A and B are shown apart, each in its own frame.
Chain A
Amino acid sequence: MRILLAEDDPLLGDGLRAGLRQLGFLVDWVRDGDAAERELRAQPYAAAVLDLGLPLKDGMDVLASVRRAGITLPVLVLTARDAIPDRVRGLDVGADDYVVKPIDLNELAARLRALVRRAHGQPQERLSVQDVTLDPAARSVMQAGVPVTLSAREFDLLHALMLNAGRVLSREQLEQHLYSWGQEVESNAIEVHVHHLRRKLGNALIQTVRGVGYTLASDLPKAR
């Protein structure tokens, strides 16, 4: 799951990025408000962690302006401002969650997963399509009750497809979900990962829409 981290403090930013990576997130880190807004407008992040006291442009202004631009991604505000009016304003401007520093990394990760899940209309932590179940917290996949071992990229790809079950995701969109900045993307990387997933989970799950991308068959009920 690729998220944007906007935090100006070098030590905290570094720690959050490293910690969230350990927990399976792909993290892009920006250190000022202008960069945060630019990236949020340009990239399809699954979620964003936004500090409010950002240089150049305050986090609250960044949030307001991306919401005005119709960007609906889940935003978790992580800030030192704990006054009730600040919290109220943050949530009113469009934050989906408001967390005061310091925060446990596991909790932060859980909150991010919950935000992403809800943004995709999934009330439960586990995602299910056909006989495949994906647990984002444990980063585990089961097929018909049997654990399936996936690489990190394969897991992320399946996660993106399952979150968007019933929708077609283009190769570019999938690449953006799977790779953060500075990671080399080979031209046929998505095809290779899809190929591996089909080999492990069967051909019926992932369908190719020629000239557009991939989708998961949503004829079977999802998590229910």
Chain B
Amino acid sequence: MPRSLQGRLLLLVLGLVAGVWLATATLTWFDVRHELDELLDSHLAQAAALLVVQQAADIDDDHRGVDAPTLHRYAPKVAFQVFHEGRLAQRSSNAPAEPMLEFTGRAADGFKTIVIGGMTWRVFATHGSERDVRVFVGEQVESRNSILWAVLRSSLGPMLFALPLLALAAWWAVRRGVAPLLLVSRALAQRSPQALQPIAVKGAPSEMTPMLDALNGLFERIAELLESERRFTADAAHELRTPIAAIRAQAQVALGAAADAERLHALQATLQGCDRAARLVEQLLTLSRLESGVEHALVAVDLATLARQVVADAAPVALSKQQVIEVNATEPCTVRGDATLLSVMIRNLVDNAIRYSPSGASVKLAVSNEQGVVQLALDDSGPGMSSADMDRIGERFFRVVGSGQDGSGLGWSITRRIAAVHRAVVRVARSRSLGGLAVEVDFPAERVA
């Protein structure tokens, strides 16, 4: 099978046409030959009958052996013999003197195909009502074949001429039929790799619409992906400029400092700037991995254990700010998730609470399991957040102003993305227990396997 659709169609159509034509020709062959045999056999029989009747009427020994005249161009192909009492009474000029068939009584009557002198003859034998008259009428089979050929030529011959024309027509029709396909493929081939605008579906054949729709859907998704990638790169470069500018300025200040105290301050600020840039890069990478659409393998994870670990890690920072941090996660709360991502999420939430709450504040993390719905709840007694800020939180690089903290605004984006990966719902509200910010993360109910 050719790989081109056009070639396949052409091959199938022409193959089928040729096959059907051949079958028709074969059937016609058999049919015509049968009809022809019937017709000519009946003529032979009729001629034989006439000879018998005539012989019975006037058997004239004088005419014995007399040749009958040739009356038609077809006549030489037909021969007859009339025997009377075993002797040849009459014959056509082209008939041999010897009997065409043996005298073997009644059984010899009827049609028989024999070879005489290298020629194939169809012979009809019969006898008069009295036993002494015997008639043979023969016809050359070759002549029958030539009639058959003539009939077939005239009926099937035009088809033979029509076949190449038909092939040409089929080629043209197929080409026209697949033209929309070629048009689309040409349009696709000529597209620049950056072009992601949809292909026009209007006017396309209905068979192609699903394919075009799917293709356009793909283009759209790729465009979205590229756009998000582009935005991300731009945002990331943009956000890295400020820490780098800070590092540069501080390093330059350290170089130009006249006093040791000034130099020390600038160098410490330089280090701080490096740490901040490094954290920003790390967050950007995390976010980039989260947004790349990679499937995360979700396994059974005990959220309570993770929460305890994160709080244990974060406790020194909280204690250095004289904050009270506690975790309430005693019973195991299993969710389907990615342990690393969930750790990042909980750490982000806890870090934020510690960072944005003043010294002496309280931070409380709780993990609970209510009929299969696992909830992570973080409360703090910090300044909380205005409802306008609560709406905007999670936008990339959105920062609450006036917080006095140099956060990147990425922590929340990461938290929201991780929650989305786990199909968990994040809610932000005013803390009822501590008065600051309350963050609740509800995980979907575990399906009982």
A binding-site residues for B, Cβ under 8 Å: 8-12, 14-16, 18-19, 22-23, 32, 55-56, 80-82, 100-106
Contacts and interface: CB of A to CB of B under 8 A. Distances in A.
B249 A15 contact: yes
Interface stretch (B2-10, B64-72, B234-242, B286-294): B234-242
Contact of A11 (B252, B401, B404, B406): B406
A11 B243 contact: yes
Q: Which of B245, B253, B266, B273 has the most CB of A within 10 A?
A: B245
B250 interface: yes
11 contacts: A11-B250, A12-B242, A14-B269, A15-B269, A19-B249, A19-B253, A55-B399, A82-B241, A102-B241, A103-B248, A105-B249
B257 interface: yes
A105 B253 contact: yes
Given A18-B266, A80-B239, A12 B245 contact: yes
B351 to A, nearest CB: 18
A100 B241 contact: yes
User: A-B pairs with the 6 shortest C-beta distances?
Assistant: A15-B249, A55-B401, A102-B245, A12-B246, A101-B245, A11-B246
Nearest to A15: B249
Would you call the interface of chain B mostly helix, strand, loop, or mixed? helix
Contacts, number: 85
Contacts of B239: 80
B276 interface: yes
B15 interface: no
A104 B276 CA distance: 20
Contacts of A101: 241-242, 244-245
Interface of B: 238-239, 241-250, 252-253, 256-258, 262, 265-266, 269, 272-273, 276, 399, 401-402, 404, 406
Given A11-B250, A56-B401, A81-B238, A18 B262 contact: yes
A80 B253 contact: no
A113 B272 CA distance: 30
Given A102-B241, A102-B244, A14 B401 contact: no
A202 B177 CA distance: 101
A15 B266 contact: yes
Contacts of B402: 32, 55-56
A103 B401 contact: no
A104 to B, nearest CB: 7
Q: Which of B249, B404, B406 has the most CB of A within 10 A?
A: B249
B243 to A, nearest CB: 7
A184 B262 CA distance: 21
Contact of A14 (B238, B243, B250, B257): B250
B272 A32 contact: no
Given A18-B262, A80-B241, A81-B238, 9 more contacts: A10-B406, A11-B243, A11-B273, A12-B249, A80-B238, A100-B241, A101-B244, A103-B248, A104-B252
Contacts of B247: 11, 102
A104 B248 contact: yes
Contacts of B406: 9-11
B401 A105 contact: no
B151 to A, nearest CB: 86
B242 A9 contact: yes
Contact of A15 (B241, B246, B276, B401): B246
Given A16-B249, A22-B256, A22-B257, A32 B241 contact: no
B393 to A, nearest CB: 15
A100 B238 CA distance: 10
Contacts of A16: 249
A32 B402 CA distance: 8
A80 B242 contact: yes
A103 B251 CA distance: 12
Nearest to B251: A15
Nearest to B401: A55
B404 to A, nearest CB: 8
A105 to B, nearest CB: 5
A62 B139 CA distance: 120
A100 B244 CA distance: 12
